[in-house]
Structure 1
Amino acid sequence: MINNLKYLITITLFISIISCKSDKKLTYAYFGGKIIHPKSNHVILYSMDQVIDTFYLDNDDKFIGKVTLPVEGLFYFSHGYENQHVYLEPGDSVLLRLNTWNFDESLVFVGKGAERNNILIDCFLEDEKESFSFHEFNKLDSKEFQRKIASSLKSNIELYNEYAESHPQETDGFKKVLKVALTYPLYARMEKYPILNAKYAKSEQLPKINNSFYDYRKFAKIDNDSLIYYPPYSQYVRNYLYNETYSLGHPPMKKNYSPKFTSDLMTIIDKKISFENTKNAFLKQTVISHFYNKSSCELNEETFEKYFKLSTNEEDKILVRKLLNDTKAVVASNQLQDFNINDYSNATLSIFDVIKQKNALLFFWSPEYVSESYIFSRMNFLSINYTNIIFIPVKIDGKKSERVESLDIKSQYYLPDDSKANDFLTCKMPRCILVDKKGKVMNGFASISSSNLSDYLEILNKVN
């Protein structure tokens, strides 16, 4: 099922692999490679959510670094706005080669420790390919869907056994990660099946499912803190938590998660997840993503209060409080207060001089949360479909001089440090404000990525 691993026969790299002639146990690994069409001048290596090191590209777009590594483990690296995982063990010399125009598909590893990383990326690509066919399978009844899963699971377990038998030197740690990569995406689809089946059937009720459907839960763990940033694992846990919440009697979500659903979900997270860091991460993701999905400045403060009660991460809670205060600072039906923005000729302008008595969507963005490629595609799509609205992207964080290259420079702006808009952008998270041609706020906190945004744009587009 999984494609044969692709090996790079010739690759120009700038590292000599150092072989250790001593019996002394190594406590480091080398990590490097070459980036084709780089999007930035560096590669960042993470363990969980902590930066391990930053490697800068040389004139040939290559990098290399020595990573202190007392124990083996799963890491991930980022370049530009994309990332991927790498498994490192002490003594490894893992080198990668990738083309940013086709990030995941072009990624290959060579060197000591490369084979295990090539099979992980192969698992990732095969799962992405299979996800399309499984969308259609969600229309099947539960027994037939279960048979489809069982067939894929059988093939993947066979692959795992073949790899483990032919690589007896592999550690238990890596074999555990490989088994997760091969099985947990299928378990995640099982957890998502009820809600997707109801969606395709246009049903107000979730399908009735036999208890044996979830037999895999007996050995599929949801409390492994070290894998929380690994998508095959985290997606399964997320789907499981949502499925458990739906099982309390909530109807399938159509547009927004109800405050009761969000509250129940946070209760499930608190009950089911024992590791503090994992619990805090899911609580934060839940309260923020549900607010953004709603795409409205209307707040249900009880939901946020429950989050503050359950989370023990003070840094996260400060961020969420800033988000709350920012939301309250710009209210629908009020007049937008004036503030300054700068264009890329460094001219300072009143926001009303930019809007020019037109219906407008102001999109405040930070490169920490949204990629330039997404901004370009989204702005183009919205501009084509809502011709009676002007779309104004305003960069609020990061290097203000770096704009979205693909967009017209005349339509882009950045926020100066002394702008009054900073008062309602303290959390630095993306935010849309919809304003009619009279300067009245129609929506004070919309999300550029939410499907619910279109409802507001349809109304604003008709304002003459």
Structure 2
Amino acid sequence: MTKRLFSFLPMLLLVVISSCESNKKEKITYFGGKIINPKSNSVVLYSMDKVIDTFYLNKQNKFLGKLKNANEGLYYFFHGDENQYIYLEPEDSLMLRLNTWDFDESLVFAGEGAERNNILIDCFLENEKDKKAFYNYNKLDPKNFKKKVDYLTKQKLKTYDNYLEHHTEETEGFKQFLKVALTFPVYEQIEKYPIIYAKYSDSGDFPELDKSFFDYRNSIQINKDSLMYYPPYFQYIRTYLYNKTYALGHPSVKSNYSAKFTLDLLKVIDKNIKSEVSKNVFLKQTVISHFYNKSSCNINEKPFNKFFELSTNEEDKNQIQKIVNDSKAVKKNNTLPDFNVINYSNTEIPISKIIKNKNVLLFFWSPEYYTENYITSRIKYLSKKYPKVSFIQIKIDGTKNDNIKKNTLSNQFYINNKSDANLFLTSKMPRCILVNKQGKVTNGYASFSSFNINPYLKALSEN
């Protein structure tokens, strides 16, 4: 892998001077850098799901943050609507440089801690390339697929050994993390193989696999809370759990997961994930994602009841209960309950007036779940595919100053806490409601991003 180095002499000098003046009893970690073509005025640093600090850019688009007694481990930073992961140790002075026009590919590090973070970004970029190769590997028979992944795994471990040979001072924590960064994306592809193979095959059947196909499972750990926010780790565990559920005898899923599959998956999570925190994360993610993937207000409450039985997180259970309640508040074939929205001229308007005699998709959204760039591209795609449907965007808890600039302003609105729409948005989760020209609801809880919304939009456009 390519080693990429650069110089941040002014910033590094500042770090050194500041270090000399700091309290000797405290371990100070510095994190800073320069953002080219910034998308916002700050960089936000996280550890797991907690905000550690927000660092603001100066006039030169540089920032410098100072962390006291920071713990060693995985962090991630956000700038604009993109993010990347870093590994910090006490007394690091990690400086980055990136261009938002090519966020990941341009990202490089300098300073104390740079070597380990440069290899991590190289891992990320290599894994993105590997994903493209697997489009073809997944069509191979099991024997030839295994040859490909065995070779790739050996190359990853060779990279691991070479790095440690030249960096003998690395901590045990980083050694373990680096191995995960290198190998878990490959392990995820091994777990995905039978699922994807079944989709490609004419019969739709899973392939017959040798007993040694999943031997690597014996050498890894799947209960590390500290890595649950690291995508390669989380994505591997999730795929592993799905594969274990399919192994119970479920057929390949083409579109919707059955209630029985969801129930069994929740049980598999409960059995295999020992960490209470991680278990709760997977339970919540499963029940929400399956409901949204279905993209229908027809709700089967058995999986939800199993979730309530297994989860120990009261906050999660409260939110899921609100989703269930929200799904029942707008009923299919009924007239849409009227409520007021506010346009970006700050005028309050009844929704019944906006949708009168139109086939519409009402998309209630929040920046917590969707980026503006994604909404823009998705609206553009759906509008072109279903030109007879009006796509109305309604921001939850919005203000008069935060419309999506690239989208048609006349189709954008927001609601405040006084709107009756809040009666069916108690969870604050995004949802789509489809309404025909007669004002009748044809789908009360569709998902904006699910492929399964398409048949409902097609039927609506033919109304």
* Residue in 1 that maps onto 2:239: 239
The Cα shift of 1:10 comes to: 6.1
Please tell me the residue identity of whatever aligns with 1:96.
Answer: L
For residues 176 and 443 of structure 1, do their structure 2 counterparts lie closer, same or farther at Cα, with a shift above 3 Å needed?
Answer: same
- Is residue 11 of structure 2 the alignment partner of residue 8 of structure 1? no
**Structure 2 unaligned regions, length at least 5:** none
Structure 2 residue 98 is the aligned partner of structure 1 residue 79 = no
- Whether the 8 Å CA contact 1:367–1:398 is kept in 2: the answer is no
The answer on whether the counterparts of 1:44 and 1:55 sit within 8 Å (CA) in structure 2 is yes
C-alpha displacement of 1:122? 0.7
Asked if structure 1 preserves the Cα contact closer than 8 Å seen for 2:89 and 2:113, the reply is yes
How big is each residue's C-alpha offset from its partner over 1:64-99, in whole Å with a ceiling of 9 and x where there is no partner? Answer: 111133531111111222211110001101111222
SS in 2 for 1:207: coil
State yes or no: 1:430 paired with 2:416. Answer: no
Q: Supply the distance in 1 between the matched residues of 2:12 and 2:407 (Cα, whole angstroms).
A: 36
The 8 Å contact of residues 192 and 239 in structure 2, kept in 1 or not, is answered as yes
1:248 aligns with 2:248: yes
C-alpha separation in 2, matches of 1:149 and 1:64: 41
Mapped contact 1:74–1:85 kept (Cα < 8 A)? yes
What is the CA distance between 1:400 and its match in structure 2? 5.1
Greater Cα offset, 6-15 or 241-250: 6-15
The CA RMSD measured in Å over matched residues stands at 1.7
C-alpha contact 1:69 1:89 (8 A) present in aligned 2? no
Q: Please say if residues 369 and 430 of structure 1, whose CA atoms lie closer than 8 Å, have aligned partners that are also in contact.
A: yes
User: 1:346 is matched with which residue?
Assistant: 346
Q: Is the Cα contact below 8 Å between 2:397 and 2:417 reproduced in 1?
A: no
Spell out the pairing of 1:56-455 with structure 2 (5 A cutoff).
56-397=56-397, 399=399, 401-455=401-455
Cα distance in structure 2, aligned partners of 1:69 and 1:54: 17
Letter in 1 for 2:298: E
Tell whether the 8 Å contact from 1:433 to 1:443 is kept in structure 2 after alignment.
yes
Tell me if structure 1 keeps the 8 A contact 2:346–2:400: no
Render the CA deviation track for 1:234-279: whole Å, top value 9, x for unaligned.
Answer: 1111111000000000001111000011010010101101111100
For residues 12 and 402 of structure 2, the distance between their equivalents in structure 1, rounded to whole angstroms, comes to 30
C-alpha deviation, 1:323, in angstroms: 1.0
Task: Compute the TM-score of the two structures, normalised by the length of structure 1.
Answer: 0.96
- How far apart, CA to CA, are the structure 1 residues paired with 2:395 and 2:301? 29
Of residues 5-14 and 434-443 in structure 1, the stretch that sits farther from structure 2 once superposed is 5-14
Q: Distance in 2 between matches of 1:321 and 1:137?
A: 42
User: Offset at 1:8?
Assistant: 2.5
Question: Could you tell which deviates more after superposition, 157-166 or 67-76?
Answer: 67-76
Task: Say if 1:14 and 1:62, in contact at 8 Å, map to a contact too.
Answer: no
2:401 alignment partner, SS class: coil
Give the aligned length: 461
> Do 1:26 and 1:91's aligned partners in 2 also have CA atoms closer than 8 Å?
no
Structure 1, residues 273-322: CA drift from partner, whole Å, max 9, x if none? 11111000000000000000000001111110110111111111111111
CA distance in structure 2 between the aligned counterparts of 1:89 and 1:71, rounded to whole angstroms? 7
Per the TM alignment, residue 423 of structure 1 is displaced from its structure 2 partner at its CA by: 0.9
Distance 2:345 2:317 in 1: 38
Q: Contact 2:75/2:88 (CA < 8 Å) preserved in 1?
A: yes
Counterparts of 2:436 and 2:10, CA distance in 1: 56
Once the two structures are superposed, residues 42-69 of structure 1 have per-residue CA deviations (whole angstroms, 9 ceiling, x without a partner) of: 2221111112112222233222111133
Inter-partner Cα distance in structure 1 for 2:8 and 2:75 = 26
Q: Which amino acid aligns with 2:283?
A: L
**How many Å apart are 1:389 and its aligned residue?**
0.6
Q: How far apart in 2 are the matches of 1:283 and 1:343? A: 38
Matched, 1:49 2:49: yes
> Residues 233 and 153 from structure 1, CA distance in 2 versus in 1: closer, same or farther, beyond 3 angstroms?
same
Q: How does 1:23-42 map to 2 (within 5 A)?
A: 27-42=27-42
Any idea what SS the aligned residue of 1:286 has?
helix
Determine the C-alpha separation between the residues in 2 that align with 1:236 and 1:72. 23
Provide the rounded CA distance (Å) in 1 between the counterparts of 2:424 and 2:10: 50
- How far the C-alpha of 1:135 sits from its partner, in A, is 1.4
Change (3 A) 1:449 1:62: same
DSSP-derived class of the 2:214 partner: helix
Q: Assess if the C-alpha contact under 8 Å between 2:37 and 2:99 holds in 1.
A: yes
Deviation string 1:171-211 (CA, Å, 9 cap, x unpaired) is: 11111111111111111000010010111113332111111
Give the distance between the partners of 1:131 and 1:179, measured in 2 at CA.
Answer: 18
Return 5+ residue gaps in structure 1 as ranges.
none
Show CA shifts across 1:397-448 (max 9, x none): 3555211111122221111321110111111111100000111000000001
Is 1:13–1:34's contact at 8 Å kept on the other side of the alignment? no
Shift of 1:26: 5.2
Measured at CA, do residues 397 and 119 of structure 1 come closer, stay the same or move farther in structure 2, by a change above 3 Å?
Answer: farther
Change (3 A) 1:360 1:15: farther
Q: 1:12 deviation in Å? A: 6.9
* TM-score, normalising length: structure 2: 0.96
| More moved, 137-146 vs 66-75 | 66-75
Query: Is the CA contact 1:42–1:56 (under 8 Å) kept in the aligned structure 2?
Result: yes
Q: Distance in 2 between matches of 1:242 and 1:170?
A: 35
